[in-house]
Amino acid sequence: MAPVITLQAVSFALRQLDDLPEDERALGLDRAEILIRRESGTLNSAWRGEPMPELLLDLVADAASALRAATLGSAVELLVLDALHGGPFAPDECRAMPECAAALSAIDRGALSGEIHLALPGTLLAPGEIMGFLIGCTPRAWRRKRLNAAEAFREALPVLAEALAPVKTRYVESPRQVYRQMDAMGRIIGDVATLLVNDPLAGQPLLVRVWSDGVVSRPVVDAGERTAQQRRAWPAGGLTVTASD
């Protein structure tokens, strides 16, 4: 069935887009969107009046998800350094997110084409947890050129790298968001990381956009009070961090 073959091929090709120069990548996205819309419409027409098989529904959904992921592209993920054990973690084992307003303001507009997403100052983050990510043309170019992620980050954004240090830096296929889930009494249950392209989960998203193509949009936060609030709401058995597909 031609639509099935096309949708499978497009989904696969979308995962390779970041290997292309930005102008070719943009053309590839446009063409993929047209093909997905056309072939999905063909399938819907063929099954009009009766339920579409679950396999075909999944195929259409997978193609749409691949397009959303490709639109964002790969990312540079910033993480708290790992601990000697995998948790749960007490507050004193976690790291309070540092204040980065001055570092963000010091970024040269020409140093980064893209966005920076970070946790708010004072947020307690467990060892190995995501503290932020970079997306856009520049991080994709670093990956395409096979530059070391940590070295590229430090060279392009030295003041921010120093403010966040020590930090683990790596490339990922798609950025992730972290949701801090709470119970009805406002106590923390745990953190769950999921792909940014997925539907939002229950809980408070921890990573917010703080810089976009030269514009700083850092919310004003009392870091000390934020840390204190989290300590009061900390789960008795410690914080667990899990991943969700």
Q: How confident is the model at residue 167 (pLDDT cuts 50, 70, 90)?
A: very high
Q: Within 10 Å of residue 107's Cβ, how many Cβ atoms?
A: 18
Polymer length in residues for the chain: 245
Q: How confident is the model at residue 245 (pLDDT cuts 50, 70, 90)?
A: low
Dihedral angle over CA of 205, 211, 136, 69, nearest 10: 20
Looking at every residue in the chain, the average pLDDT score rounds to 92
Cα distances from 192 to residues 104, 162, 163, 245, in angstroms, run 27, 27, 25, 10
pLDDT higher at 163 or 1: 163
Q: How far is CA 85 from the centre of its chain?
A: 24
pLDDT in tens, 175-213: 999 999 999 999 999 999 999 999 899 999 999 999 998
Positive or negative, the CA dihedral 38, 40, 46, 49 is negative
The rounded percent of the chain whose pLDDT value lies above 90 is 66
d(CA 139, CA 72): 11
pTM score of the predicted model: 0.89
The torsion angles phi and psi of 106, rounded to 5 degrees, stand at: -85, -5
The torsion angles phi and psi of 178, rounded to 5 degrees, stand at: -120, 130
| C-beta separation of 182 from 201 below 8 A | no
Which of 156, 137, 114 has the alpha carbon at shortest distance from 17?
A: 137
Fold of 75-244: nicotinate phosphoribosyltransferase (3.20.140)
